[in-house]
Chains A and B, each alone.
Chain A
């Protein structure tokens, strides 16, 4: 099932309002201007106000869209979904699309989780760069490859070479300590 764009807009509005709130709270702790007319708190306040203004416009548009969608649904059950441009024609096809989208989203989440674990391993656990990078490339490559397990050893080898090469260049030539 796809989320109506108006709901995404409302989520955006909430996030922006939270951000604007942070700007106002942060600005309230700043001292008033002393050596120059504008002061440090002016821009955060102005931007906070601008963000609230735009968020309100987007919220009003989103609510109007949702109400329109609701009224069109009540008006005609047969044309349900046509209001937002997505007419329900073939439920089986829709289910297939939803499933492949879900698989795609899962793949995206897997890659993101691998990335977080990779950084945790390097930063918090302070594991050595070469084996951790090789493992990371193997995992991400396997997740993204259509051949999966058959390609795993190729990714492992490639990851090892990439990690060793990067380690050499960064530490020897660019003086970056990769741990």
Chain B
């Protein structure tokens, strides 16, 4: 770990981390632009970089992207990212009462503390979990991937069936290309362009950036809302740490553990933490009217969820959200396989991610503390300038992958598919993660069947694999069980009255 910090403090790594965090904060502060879009657009540029440089840049963007959302959530009641929705509940009323500086100060402090506490979990748990995951064979990996996919599809907001269908569709789009096991083209329909399959980057850029831009283009043109830029210094004192300490500790633990579970995400972490804090408060009626603990709870949890989500990513190669799926793509591009072997094969990257996460939080504190008013002003850049620039970056980025336009057309096609799926209220998260995880799931299943001579019953003798499948089944059945329980409770309440 110490080596990772020493490597990170080399000037180039530190510069990339600084640049990534700054970019992430700005993009996170702009409503409509997300950290996943920024990371997807930056990926093509990382081809030519050293893997540690690339990963520090992307981690910085991830941390900055989630944290930056609080600025416009507090000043404009427009959360820059979904993770900051909860911050609008109390942050904006505080700004309206003439305390924007105090709300921003508390939000920034809470974000950093959430990040640091979840870093302790990340640094403490990851190496141990990775060592534990070394015991896994192909059956365990296949079951783990299935569990992650099912959890992600089920826990994503919206219809369960559509979530599962999105995951299956994503998996189907990963099938065309050369099947490495037999060295023969599969589902290419005699098209040479499909021989190498659909590239991860064009798919990501299309599904997230292009579909988002097309949706934004169709939204009504509005003049920018007037913004009250903070005028005074951000007021926060050491005693605030003491006052909000228990709240921040609790929210960090909630955020980290929710981040660990695939598919739930930073916005739900913030919401659960906010609700818990309100329930435990002696004055719950003050929440939603500009109450300081509300800002602290949401911002602590959403940042802490990043550390939690990085744990399954680096220890088992399982993405908890779209952003982590893109980070897996980044590692794959640099010929690195995320999972337990990452700590053995590329410790500088595995520990580099952990170290970069901590330092990115500190850089975020420095940047937000000193430049929040300028970042708030940048977030007012008109949409026309932003969208036209991002479109050019999308085209150039997709082209730069292989220096050919096939990838650009694939990007456009997936932009249209992404837009269509969103119109039909099919979540994009499971779709992209299905696309990323499909090759791993197939490889592991084929490997396990080869090892067991085609005997599927072999999985019954694997306790970890069975536990993963049991959790997946429970996640699927949970809504039905809860529905039945609610119905029974409703009937019991009605019976005495009749």
Q: Do the beta carbons of B220 and A100 come within 8 Å of each other?
A: yes
Q: Do the beta carbons of B161 and A54 come within 8 Å of each other?
A: yes
In the bound complex, how far is the Cα of B187 from the Cα of A87, in angstroms?
Answer: 47
Q: Do the beta carbons of A166 and B172 come within 8 Å of each other?
A: no
Closest to B438 in A: A43
How many chain-A residues does the 8 Å CB contact rule pick out? 67
Cβ-based interface call for B119 (8 A): no
Q: Do the beta carbons of A115 and B399 come within 8 Å of each other?
A: no
Which residue from A38, A108, A136, A143 sits with its C-beta under 8 Å from B445? A38
- Categorize the interface residue count of chain B: 35 or more
Interface of chain A residues 126 through 176 with chain B (CB within 8 A): 133, 136-137, 140-146, 151, 155, 158-159, 162-163, 166, 170, 174-176
Residues A55 and B165 in contact in the complex (CB < 8 Å), given A15-B420, A176-B400: yes
Q: Which residues of B contact A57 (CB under 8 A)?
A: 161
Q: Which residues of B contact A36 (CB under 8 A)?
A: 181, 446, 449-450
Looking at the assembled complex, report how far the CB atom of A35 sits from the nearest CB atom of chain B, in whole angstroms: 7
Q: Pick from B217, B400, B403 the residue with the most CB of A within 10 Å.
A: B217
Interface of chain A residues 90 through 113 with chain B (CB within 8 A): 100, 104-105, 107-108, 110-112
Looking at the assembled complex, report how far the CB atom of A66 sits from the nearest CB atom of chain B, in whole angstroms: 15
Q: Which residues of A contact B220 (CB under 8 A)?
A: 100, 104
Q: Do the beta carbons of B181 and A166 come within 8 Å of each other?
A: no
Q: Which residues of A contact B8 (CB under 8 A)?
A: none
Which residue from A11, A26, A55, A108 sits with its C-beta under 8 Å from B217? A108
Q: Which residues of A contact B165 (CB under 8 A)?
A: 16, 51, 54-55, 58
Residues A9 and B387 in contact in the complex (CB < 8 Å), given A54-B165, A166-B396: no
Q: Do the beta carbons of B217 and A144 come within 8 Å of each other?
A: yes
Q: Do the beta carbons of A37 and B214 come within 8 Å of each other?
A: no
Q: Do the beta carbons of B164 and A54 come within 8 Å of each other?
A: yes
Interface of chain B residues 147 through 169 with chain A (CB within 8 A): 161-162, 164-165, 168-169
Cβ-based interface call for B345 (8 A): no
B interface footprint on A23-48 (CB within 8 Å = 1, 0 otherwise): 10011001100111110100110011
Q: Which residues of A contact B184 (CB under 8 A)?
A: 30-31, 40
Q: Which residues of B contact A11 (CB under 8 A)?
A: 424
Residues A137 and B48 in contact in the complex (CB < 8 Å), given A9-B424, A44-B186: no
Looking at the assembled complex, report how far the CB atom of B203 sits from the nearest CB atom of chain A, in whole angstroms: 15
Cβ-based interface call for A123 (8 A): yes
Looking at the assembled complex, report how far the CB atom of A38 sits from the nearest CB atom of chain B, in whole angstroms: 5
Residues A118 and B214 in contact in the complex (CB < 8 Å), given A47-B175, A159-B388: no
Q: Do the beta carbons of A38 and B221 come within 8 Å of each other?
A: no
Q: Which residues of B contact A19 (CB under 8 A)?
A: 169, 172
The stretch of B25-33, B232-240, B404-412 that contacts the partner chain: B404-412
Cβ-based interface call for B488 (8 A): no
Q: Which residues of B contact A63 (CB under 8 A)?
A: none
* Majority secondary structure of chain A interface residues (helix, strand, loop or mixed): helix
Q: Do the beta carbons of A141 and B214 come within 8 Å of each other?
A: no
Closest to A43 in B: B442
The stretch of B110-118, B281-289, B354-362, B378-386 that contacts the partner chain: B378-386
Q: Which residues of A contact B48 (CB under 8 A)?
A: 174-175
Which residue from B210, B221, B387, B454 sits with its C-beta under 8 Å from A146? B221
Q: Which residues of B contact A47 (CB under 8 A)?
A: 168, 171-172, 175
Q: Which residues of A contact B187 (CB under 8 A)?
A: 22-23, 26-27, 44
Q: Do the beta carbons of A111 and B213 come within 8 Å of each other?
A: yes
Cβ-based interface call for B460 (8 A): no
Residues A58 and B161 in contact in the complex (CB < 8 Å), given A15-B420, A26-B189, A155-B384: yes
Closest to B219 in A: A104
Residues A137 and B442 in contact in the complex (CB < 8 Å), given A47-B168, A107-B217, A119-B409: no
Residues A16 and B384 in contact in the complex (CB < 8 Å), given A119-B408, A144-B221, A146-B223: no
Q: Do the beta carbons of B385 and A158 come within 8 Å of each other?
A: yes
In the bound complex, how far is the Cα of B218 from the Cα of A112, in angstroms?
Answer: 10
Closest to A56 in B: B161
Closest to B49 in A: A174
Cβ-based interface call for B477 (8 A): no
In the bound complex, how far is the Cα of B276 from the Cα of A101, in angstroms?
Answer: 39
Cβ-based interface call for B428 (8 A): no
Cβ-based interface call for B327 (8 A): no
Q: Do the beta carbons of A136 and B175 come within 8 Å of each other?
A: no
Cβ-based interface call for A50 (8 A): yes
Looking at the assembled complex, report how far the CB atom of B190 sits from the nearest CB atom of chain A, in whole angstroms: 10
Looking at the assembled complex, report how far the CB atom of B128 sits from the nearest CB atom of chain A, in whole angstroms: 34
Q: Do the beta carbons of B396 and A178 come within 8 Å of each other?
A: yes
Closest to A140 in B: B388
Q: Which residues of B contact A27 (CB under 8 A)?
A: 187
Residues A111 and B396 in contact in the complex (CB < 8 Å), given A8-B424, A140-B388, A141-B388: no
Q: Which residues of A contact B420 (CB under 8 A)?
A: 12, 15
Closest to A13 in B: B424
In the bound complex, how far is the Cα of B412 from the Cα of A5, in angstroms?
Answer: 25
Which residue from B221, B382, B425, B446 sits with its C-beta under 8 Å from A5? B425
Residues A144 and B388 in contact in the complex (CB < 8 Å), given A104-B220, A123-B408: yes
Residues A51 and B172 in contact in the complex (CB < 8 Å), given A11-B424, A111-B213, A151-B384: yes
Residues A111 and B221 in contact in the complex (CB < 8 Å), given A36-B181, A54-B161, A57-B161: no
In the bound complex, how far is the Cα of B381 from the Cα of A158, in angstroms?
Answer: 14
Cβ-based interface call for A122 (8 A): yes
Q: Which residues of B contact A88 (CB under 8 A)?
A: none
Excluding A26-B175, A116-B412, 7 further A-B contacts by CB distance (< 8 Å) are: A23-B187, A26-B186, A30-B184, A36-B450, A43-B171, A54-B164, A104-B218
**Cross-chain pairs A/B with CB under 8 angstroms, 25 sampled:** A23-B187, A34-B182, A35-B181, A38-B454, A40-B181, A43-B438, A44-B172, A47-B171, A58-B161, A105-B218, A111-B214, A111-B391, A123-B408, A133-B392, A136-B391, A140-B384, A140-B388, A141-B388, A145-B221, A155-B384, A162-B389, A162-B392, A166-B392, A176-B400, A178-B396
Nearest 10 Cβ contacts at the A-B interface: A37-B454, A108-B218, A144-B384, A26-B187, A123-B405, A54-B165, A145-B384, A12-B424, A140-B388, A104-B218
